[in-house]
């Protein structure tokens, strides 16, 4: 399989096998008018199997979403055919509009236009809590 080199864009690498489509959907990559390559179950010496996504244009990526969905992911930023930066993502301290509060009495559920906001309260167990009502949300 040959997937061309990027002139400008991103390589999302070290995605846990099977999570690539979830990231593809969350980032709305199907709506882009540039090339997007999705590689599922690529062999990896470190991970066994992994997914990889290549995006053929520099876009506004929400790294907190990527870190939340798959904290081990790496993001290579490509400019003029060369990697200019490599980001290693971890669980974000705060999430805005990524997960929804399940408490029906929370202000974020009743007030339209108020973003659902969560803070990481337990990194080891990957637990987030709503900043408004303190409801619990576990990472997927």
Angstrom distance (rounded) from CA 28 to CA 40: 18
Q: Which class for 138: exposed (0-12), middle (13-18), buried (19 or more C-beta within 10 A)?
A: exposed
Which CATH number does 94-138 carry?
2.30.30.20
Determine the topology of domain 9-88 in CATH: Alpha-Beta Plaits (3.30.70)
Tell me if 66 sits within 8 A of 73, measured CB to CB: yes
Kindly give, in sequence order, each residue whose CB lies less than 8 Å from that of residue 96, ignoring residues fewer than 6 positions away: 64, 115, 116, 117
What's the pLDDT score for residue 13?
93
What's the pLDDT score for residue 103?
92
The pTM for the full model equals 0.80
Kindly report, residue by residue over 54-112, the tens digit of the pLDDT.
999 999 888 888 888 888 899 999 999 899 999 999 899 999 888 889 999 999 988 88
**Domain locations in the chain?**
9-88, 94-138
Angstrom distance (rounded) from CA 56 to CA 37: 8
């Amino acid at each position: 399989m040959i997937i061309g080199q990027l002139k400008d864009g991103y390589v999302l690498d070290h995605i846990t096998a099977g999570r690539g489509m979830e990231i593809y959907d969350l980032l709305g990559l199907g709506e882009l008018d540039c090339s997007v390559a999705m590689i599922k179950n690529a062999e990896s010496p470190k991970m066994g199997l992994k997914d990889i996504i290549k995006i053929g244009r520099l876009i506004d990526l929400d790294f907190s979403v990527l870190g939340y969905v798959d904290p081990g992911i790496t993001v290579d930023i490509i400019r003029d055919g060369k990697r200019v930066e490599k980001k290693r993502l971890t669980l974000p301290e705060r999430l805005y509009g990524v997960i929804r509060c399940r408490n029906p009495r929370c202000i974020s559920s009743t007030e339209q236009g108020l973003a659902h906001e969560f803070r990481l309260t337990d990194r080891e167990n990957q637990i987030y809590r709503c900043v408004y009502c303190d409801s619990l949300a576990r990472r997927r």
